[in-house]
C-alpha cells in the first residue's frame, strides 16, 4: 500500500474535496483508509523550532561531570 498525501483547505463543511490529480492515482474500486492530520499552526512551529534549538545547545558547565562516566 502506497500512501498518497495532499493538502486541503478545511472550510467547515462535512466533505473534503480530493484534488483531481490525486483521484487519478486512486484505484477505481475498493476501500481506502483516510487519516486527517490538521496542519500545525505558526505558534506550534515556533515552539518546535525553539525546543530543537534548546536541544542542540551544549550542556551547562556543571553538567560536564556526567560526560566522564562510562
pLDDT in tens, 40-62: 666 777 888 888 888 888 777 77
Q: Is it the case that residue 70 has pLDDT exceeding 70?
A: no
- One-character DSSP codes across 17-47: PPPHHHHTTS-SSS-------PPPPHHHHHH
Is 25 inside a domain boundary? yes
Q: What is the pLDDT of residues 6-26, one digit of tens each?
A: 989 888 999 999 999 999 999
Which of 61, 56, 4, 60 has the alpha carbon at shortest distance from 32?
4
Q: Is residue 13 part of a domain?
A: no
Residue 10 lies in a domain: no
* Model pLDDT, residue 21: 95
For residue 59, is it within any domain? yes
Domain assignment present for residue 4? The answer is no
Can you give the residue range of the structural domain that contains 28?
20-68
Residue 1 lies in a domain: no
pLDDT at 55: 83
Structural domain total, the chain: 1
Tell me the C-alpha distance between 62 and 11, whole Å.
52
Amino acid at each position: 500500500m502506497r500512501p498518497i498525501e495532499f493538502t486541503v483547505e478545511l472550510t467547515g463543511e462535512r466533505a473534503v474535496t480530493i484534488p483531481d490529480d490525486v483521484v487519478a492515482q486512486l484505484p477505481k474500486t475498493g476501500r481506502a483508509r483516510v487519516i486527517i492530520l490538521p496542519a500545525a499552526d505558526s505558534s506550534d512551529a515556533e515552539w518546535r523550532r525553539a525546543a530543537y534549538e534548546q536541544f542542540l545547545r551544549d550542556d551547562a558547565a556543571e553538567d560536564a561531570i556526567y560526560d566522564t562516566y562510562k
